Amino acid sequence: MNSGALPSPANLTLRDTVTADDVTVVRQLVASTGFFSAGEVEVAVELVTERLHRGPESGYLFLFGDCDGHPVGYVCYGPIACTVGSFDLYWIVTRQDRRHAGIGTFLLYESERRMAATGGRAVYVETSSRPQYEPTRRFYERRGYRQAALLPDFYAPGDGKVIFAKNLLSRPASPAP
């Protein structure tokens, strides 16, 4: 868990505004991974269009990472309705040719920092129990998430849903200023 500023990957700039161009940006970023089905890509895109139509009231907050003016990753998260301080992490994607450079970790920690700064107590993320998602599950586990639930066969027969949770309050003491 980061507390305060974290060194950013080289040349990465953050942007939390969302424009109509981001419909294409998100579609291309998600599709670049080769990991998600066409239906899943459309769900990711749907969250952008929801946000464009309804603004932050949609509950979908975005953080884009740009390198030299080109989007290389994004995270979509938001407060969960009817909860006090619980957030969902809906999507986190790094462009396929920019993986393993710390971009996803940076986007994750920065979104957690922003959640905590607006009263976030915990963040939840859902993923698949399939072997293909083992690296995804490791990604979260290594960043302070623990498995909170497993719903077998949720996505499809043999494809369960794993819910990970991270406590945003149990952060280490801040470094001296």
| Cα angle 89, 41, 19; round to 5 | 75
CB of 83 to a copy of itself, least distance (A): 5
Residue 103 · residue 75 · CB < 8 Å? no
Question: Interface residues for a copy of itself in 93-122 (CB under 8 A)?
Answer: 121-122
Instruction: Check binding of 14 to a copy of itself (CB under 8 A).
Output: no
Instruction: Check binding of 154 to a copy of itself (CB under 8 A).
Output: yes
Residues in CB range of 44: below 8 A, 6 or more apart: 26, 27, 30, 36, 76, 91, 93
Name the residue nearer to a copy of itself (CB basis): 88 or 110. Answer: 88
Name the residue nearer to a copy of itself (CB basis): 50 or 66. Answer: 50
Instruction: Check binding of 148 to a copy of itself (CB under 8 A).
Output: yes
Instruction: Check binding of 38 to a copy of itself (CB under 8 A).
Output: no
Q: Which of 10, 37, 172, 176 binds a copy of itself (CB under 8 A)?
A: 37
* Residue keyed to tokens 């953080």: 63
Q: Which of 6, 20, 24, 40 binds a copy of itself (CB under 8 A)?
A: 40
Interior/surface letters 46-81, b for 16+ CB within 10 angstroms, e for the rest:
ebbbebeeeeeebbbbbbbbbbeeebbbbbbbbbee
3-state helix, strand, coil in the chain (%, to 5): 35, 30, 35
Instruction: Check binding of 151 to a copy of itself (CB under 8 A).
Output: yes
> What is the contact surface with a copy of itself in residues (CB under 8 A)?
37, 39-40, 43, 81-86, 121-122, 124, 148-151, 153-157, 163, 165
